[in-house]
Amino acid sequence: MPLITIFYYIMTGIVAIMMIWNFVKERDIQKEILIIMAIIPFLLRLFRLK
């Protein structure tokens, strides 16, 4: 696996963790739904699903 791919997955994981943290802290249901919609592509990339 190339080094750039490893960095890509690390960055994707960090962004996904930050979004999950925001989801846990958020109390507004509309913002929670928005965060879930935004995190789905990051999780799919992290788990190598397309």
Q: Is 28 helix (H, G, I), strand (E, B) or coil?
A: coil
Q: How many beta carbons lie within 10 A of that of residue 49, not counting itself? A: 7
pTM of the model: 0.81
Residue 22: predicted pLDDT = 94
Q: Quick one: how far is CA 34 from the chain centroid? A: 12
46 DSSP 8-state letter: H
Please state the domain extents for the chain.
1-9+24-50
Q: Tell whether the model's pLDDT for residue 36 goes beyond 80.
A: yes
pLDDT in tens, 4-25: 999 999 999 999 999 999 999 9
